[in-house]
Structures are given as structure tokens and as C-alpha cells.
Amino acid sequence: MPTVDEILDQIQLRGVEAALEYTKRFDGIMLTTEEIVFDPTTATAPKLPPEEVSALSFARDNICRFHEATRPQDVTITPQPGITLGERYVPLGRVGIYVPNGGYPLVSSLLMQVIPAQVAGVKDIVVAIAPKDGLALDSRWLFALQMLGVRQVLRLGGAQAVASMAYGLKGFPPVDMITGPGNRFVTEAKQEVFRRGLCGIDLIAGPSEVLVIISDPSLAENAAYDLLAQAEHADDAKGIMVTWRPEVKSAVETIVAQETRRYEKPLGQIELHLVDSPIQAVSLANRVAPEHLGLMGDEAEALENQIRTAGALFVGPYSGQALGDYTAGPSHVLPTGGSGRFLSGLTTRTFMRRMSVIHTTDDLPENYLVHTQKLAHLEGLHYHEKSMRVRHYAREDNPS
């Protein structure tokens, strides 16, 4: 079994040839050079049930609306006459979006990444989807790709997809940013291409997680099913409930036990914690820094502003985690494993660069030139000082 480093090295060295070999070896599918990249907009439009079309369109519109409203705007200030300062947001040129292609078509992952990139202004978007059961894509994948207007799909998965997007292939330029969750090989490959300085990445996706703080026994069913919804992602997913009321813990425990006995697929870990007070519950939540954090009960709104580290916060009777996963609007690509202490979820900012702008005119106050020279002299940087001194002399020789 080749290591991720070896896969990246081979893609760099042999390009398409290596990508084809790894796809045959890992996915059992033989592709030709011409089949690696295709344009889904040229395929016959698939027919989906009207309710699925309606749901996908509803999600698309909400995601688009949210990201248009939160797209960062350029800022300009003039602190004094003669100097204008600003921040300019510039979309990345080309991005690669990885979407897992497992048992079900995770079209929500596609929408939650492509739409923010489009709203950010990225013109060149490639989506990597591992081939499965031949070349044909599931009709729901194809519909979503066409609905979004994606024109480039890379028929690769795993580390070879990440490497191909980072290094580029013949006729397939490298990308500036790679986003999206995947298995441990995808995650390791993303870390490595970033370490090699090839492109940016969004987050290091770990096992999915939710923490629910609940105080109302009548909401036990809501909490239990949110925990179970998280646990069904994978056997390493985690659902955590925190309460200071024993009857709430007992009610949630009963529902979870009943459901897990009759559920046939593997579930992740579910933990139920009893603490002494709301303050302890919030303290625990901020230490865990969960991907998703739900607040249920009369204290929810009072506790909301005390939560500092969650990837996403869910408050209110209908704010189940699934609402955020599919239709609310904010992207569901969120920090995991406690990284919410210092990272945020995917937004339009993920697909943009922030550039500072300093613009001066002849009206620049003298003290900018004087103090800049003094600080350069203080740090012993001769040419820094001189670069400003020549400008200062030029002004004195040619006063306006």
C-alpha cells in the first residue's frame, strides 16, 4: 500500500499515468486519459422526482442568500489627508472541491462548497468525485452539478484526487485552494499539499460531532434524535448531551437506548453528562469546542452569548443539526476536534484573499515620513530608513 507521500510524488512525476494507475488499484475502475475530466453540463439532464428538485432548489437559494449577505466588503479609510488605507477582497483564481462519493450521493456537501465559492467570485471551479460503478454519475449528483453550472468534474477520489488538483495534470491546471471532507487519506493529502506550499486548504476534517445542552424534559426527544443523527455519520462520530437535570438525562438515555437496539447500522459514540449548573454546562461546551452545538430549553437564549468556540450554534425549537446540514444557509463545512477554538467554518472568505492597500498623495503629513525613518533607524535597517529619507528630501527640494 503506497503512502500518501508516495502518491503525491508519483502524481507530480508521472501525472495522468499515475492517477489512472491509482484509480484502477483503489477503485477498481479503468479510466482513459480522456475520461478523467468531464463537463457535466454537456450530459443529458437527468429527471428527478419533483420533491427532490424542489428540495435541492430550496437549499441552493437559501445557501446563496446567506453567503451573498455575508460576503466581505472592501474597506477604505482616510485617517488623515494624504493617506488612504484599505482592505480589498480578491477571489481566488481556481479552486478544487472534494466531495465524498460513498453509499449515498452527498449533494449537500457539493452545494455547501460550490455556492460559497461562486458567491466569492471564483471563476474556475473543479469538483473531484471518485468514480463508482463505472463512469456514470448518480442522477442526483449530475442534477446538482448542472443546477450549479459546474463545468469541470475530476473523476478521481482519495489522495490521488488531492494530488492531481494540487499539482495539475496535462491540460488540467493546478488549483489555488482545496476544500472538502474525506477519509484519512484525503485529510493527510490535504495537509501534505499545504505543507509543500502547493495550495491552500480549508480545514482538517475529523470525526463529526455535536454537543447538546438541554434543560427541558419535554425536548428530550429532540435532543436524542440530534445525538443519533450525528452518530449515524460514522462509527467515529460523537454525540454529547449535557444537562443539570437528572430527569432530562434519564429521558434522553431511554430514547437513545430504544433506538440503538433496533438500528441495524453501526453508530458512533453517544455520551450523556450530568453537571451541577448551566455555568458548568457552558464551560464544558467551550472546552470541547464542538462542530455543532445545540441549546434547548428556557435558558437557551441566555446561554447563547456565552458560547465562544462552537463551529455552529443551533438555538430554538426547530434548529436541529440537520437544518444546518441541508437548508438553513450557512455552510456545514465546520471545524472539528476542538479546532473551533481557533478556526471557523467555510464561508466566502475561504475562497478569497484579503489584500491591504496603502495609497498616499503629496498631502501626506510630515510626521509619517519622520516617524517611519526613526523606527527604521531604531531597528538598524539602513535601507528602510534611506528609502523614506530620499522621499523626504525630494519633498523638501520640491515643496508643493
Residues that are catalytic: 291-292
382 among annotated binding-site residues: no
233 among annotated binding-site residues: yes
Number of alpha carbons in the 13 Å side-chain half-sphere of residue 241: 34
Calpha distance 349→70 (Å, rounded): 9
Calpha distance 316→324 (Å, rounded): 13
∠ CA 107-175-344, rounded to 5°: 60
Stated length of the chain:
400
Number of alpha carbons in the 13 Å side-chain half-sphere of residue 151: 7
Calpha distance 19→289 (Å, rounded): 37
State phi, psi for 121 to the nearest 5 degrees.
Answer: 105, 10
Any idea what DSSP says for residue 244?
Answer: S
Residue with cell 446567506: 66
Pairing state between β 75-80 and 83-91 = antiparallel
392 among annotated binding-site residues: no
Calpha distance 197→204 (Å, rounded): 16
325 among annotated binding-site residues: yes
CB atoms within 10 A of CB 94: 18
- CA 337: distance to chain centroid? 14
∠ CA 16-19-20, rounded to 5°: 85
Calpha distance 232→65 (Å, rounded): 29
Provide the residue type at 75 as one letter: V
384 among annotated binding-site residues: yes
**Binding site for NAD(+), residues?**
98, 160, 183
**Binding site, residues?**
98, 160, 183, 208, 230, 233, 292, 325, 379, 384
